[in-house]
Amino acid sequence: MRAWQELRAMGLLVLRSWYRVGPRVRGGRKPEPTRGASAVLMRLVFAALIYNFGFTSGLSVARSGEPAWAATWAGVGAGLFVLATTFALELPSPRMPTMALKSELLELLPLSRLSKLLITLAQSLLMLPLSLGLAITLHGEASSGGSLAGALVLGLGLFTGFALGGASLGKLLKLTLSPYAASRVSWFSAVPMLGGLLMLQSGQARSWLPRPFFGEALGEALLGDRTWSVTAVVYAMTAVLGAAFFWLESRHELSEPVRPGTTRSALRGGADMARLERLLSRREPGGLLQVPIVTAMGALFIGGAAWTHDARGQGAGLGLVWNVAALLTLQLVSSLGMQRATRGATRDTLARPLLGALPIAPRDTLTSKAHALRLTLLIVAAPLLLTLLALRRDPHLGRELAWRLPLALSAVAIYASAAVYVAFLTAGLGAVRPRGGVFGSLESFLLAVPFASVLFAPGPGSALLSLVTLGALTFEARRAALSTIDWLDDPEREHSTEVWKALVVFGGFQGAQLLIQQLATLLGDWLSAPLQLLGAYTLSAAALWAMTQREQERDAPPLRPKLAPLGLGLGALSAGCAWLYLKLAAPAVDAASKLAMTSAAELGFAVLAIVVAAPLVEERFFRGWLQPALQSALGAKQHWAPVLSALAFAVAHPAYSFLPVLALGLLNGFAMQRFRSLSACVVAHAVHNAFALWLGAQ
């Protein structure tokens, strides 16, 4: 009995660690959407993405012309990833999420410190090298006679050593540096982690990494039999760079103080928060070096990839060049942008009594911070322009770069503004939950998806659509942040950010579908397309219910089954619009909308997913959750709520079906506003999807 009670207590500890319920708004007036399901969902999505990335990289290594060479660089990258992450876990940084087993449960288990560390790593960190080695072993043994299996065993031992080394380095820093200095140097972990990700990608390209920058001798060594010596050189260079940076931070721990009266003189002639930001940055020498270091790294990798583009042949498009540039920009801009925005929001929260005496309006504080961060991130993203070097041998790439570069830089500028407003809503004065948890998991995911979609878009149309989506999210985050300023000095006033909360819920809604897509990629042909759809909508429904059920108990619109015939008419009208659209754009749309089904069971799963699950889940969110939030936020202009919710509904679907889905969203939106009934919307959606499924099966 006692053993069962202990097991139950441990299980509850795990659940409490993974299921974090969000607090109420100050004053206890209104609950925020449940954060527990979002924490679990984001952890699962992260795990699936890491495993999928490692496995696909391992496949490219095993199938390359020189698997031993590619596996060496892949091992370098995965080792740096593990080393950097274990190092960062030991440092006192509020930006690092707490791992599920790094909690009370892990302290209760009768295990050694080494075992506890390995258990913590096994959750997510070791998934990258494990999946990488698994792919190399499974797909490389046939051509290498089993030698890669031994390399896998050796590699796992090395990864464990890297993990212990990173943890030891973090503990050593905590002993030699003060917590203040240690927390400021923790961002350095992004440098080797970033190098690891790019080195994994370099397994697909043979010549661009070493030759332009490390000399002909090192390039020949890398392509010859001295790969292990090259690996040692790379790790030594990383260690020297890290030691130099730590020495700089410890030397300037207290740094140069701001002289008395400097603040007022800097603000003389106008309330310019950007000047104050630059003034306060002088207290952090490492922060001043951060932007030049990461910008130089971006120029090194992107410039090298673009300069040697001709080594991979002409006529194949940008390919690896833009993938490296986009991956690097995504990593640097998202991590650096959120880090700086969060640091500024947290600092403003702590220094609120001092800032209140300055002649700076709260709204000017946010807009000035957004302007300063926008300039910083545009400097960091400037190495994207080095992709123009690829025109040296292949001038035909100019047309592709003509739309990729402007849209990518525009996305960086918009993302910078969004990061400031999101940090204010999640970690600053506008936060509705305490700091220290997983920072803005859903919020940052909500911004990262359209930002990444712009960078990796296959064509200008999809890139522009993703950019508009990112701009709309930024606009709403700004509106929500500025609206919360009105109640900061009035604790009794209940604030409302209904639309932003609805968009955060949408992040969880999309995250659930992304998780199913990643699992489908890993499982291959075992999970058919209808099963993928059914799983995606089932998980989305669970996430949607968990995040909205508290707030919909009182205000949920009624179903009103008597209005179901109205839905039949709306569905028929929407299907007619879709049929007309297909006639006008038949070739491209018809090819993209096919759904492969080879059995009656798959057809049944498709009907269950598309005709039953999709209408219930999507209508509950878009018409039952998002549209009422828009109506309450727009006030006298609430007649625009159906249009805005229909646009969001259409953006969430594939590009080839944008116009038919927009027509369905408009019909259902106005029906919801007029009759306040979800049943008509669900029936219309089901009729529309049934018609689309019938067309796809033809």
* Higher-pLDDT residue of 292, 157: 292
Task: Look at phi and psi of residue 317 and say left if phi exceeds 0, alpha if psi is from -120 to 50, else beta.
Answer: left
Coil/strand/helix, residue 98: coil
Q: Is the pLDDT of residue 294 over 70?
A: yes
pLDDT at 671: 82
Closest CA to 427 of 415, 438, 435, 419: 435
How far apart are the C-alpha atoms of 29 and 490, rounded to whole Å?
14
Between 167 and 125, the higher pLDDT residue: 167
Three-class DSSP category at 611:
helix
Q: Quick check: 614 pLDDT over 90?
A: no
Q: Is 454 a residue whose pLDDT tops 70?
A: yes
Mean pLDDT of 311-334: 67
Position 525, amino acid: D
pLDDT tens sequence across 457-494: 877 877 887 788 788 888 878 877 777 665 455 544 44
CA angle 656, 660, 664 (to 5 degrees): 140
pLDDT at 300 over 70: yes
Instruction: Report the pLDDT value the prediction gives residue 110, as an integer from 0 to 100.
Output: 64
Ramachandran angles phi, psi of 38, nearest 5°: -65, -35
pTM of the model: 0.62
Q: Between 352 and 24, where is the model more confident? A: 352
Q: Tell me what pLDDT residue 107 has.
A: 57
At 63, give phi and psi (nearest 5°).
-95, 0
Are 328 and 416 spatial neighbours (Cβ–Cβ below 8 Å)?
no
Is there a contact between 601 and 691 (Cβ–Cβ < 8 Å)? no
Would you state the pLDDT for residue 421? 85
Look-up of token digits 């031994």 = 150
Does 412 score more than 90 pLDDT? yes
CA distance 123 to 351: 37
- pLDDT tens-digit series, residues 5-29: 555 554 554 444 433 333 333 333 3
Q: Which residues of 404-441 are buried (b: 16+ CB within 10 A; e: fewer)?
A: bbebbbbbbbbbbbbbbbbbbbbbbbbbbbeeebbbbb
Structure tokens given for 153: 């065993």
Q: What is the pLDDT of residue 337?
A: 83
* Cα four-point dihedral sign 208, 212, 214, 216: positive
Count other Cβ atoms within 10 Å, centred on residue 517: 15
Quick check: 190 and 113 in contact, CB under 8 A? no
pLDDT of residue 677: 74
Residue 535, pLDDT > 90, answer no
> What DSSP designation does 609 have?
I
Q: How confident is the model at residue 578 (pLDDT cuts 50, 70, 90)?
A: low
Q: How many CB atoms lie within 10 A of CB 675?
A: 15
**Mean pLDDT on 210-231:** 42
Per the DSSP assignment, residues forming a β-bridge with 31 are 24
- Statement: residue 359 has pLDDT above 70: no
51 vs 267, higher pLDDT: 51
Lowest mean pLDDT among 43-52, 608-617, 630-639, 645-654: 43-52
DSSP code string of 328-344: HHHHHHHHHHHHHHHHH
pLDDT at residue number 342 = 77
Q: Cα(first)–Cα(last) distance of the chain, in Å?
A: 60
Please tell me the distance from the alpha carbon of residue 604 to that of residue 636, in angstroms, as a whole number: 45
569: its two tokens = 């008419």
Distance (Å, whole) CA 14 – CA 4 = 15
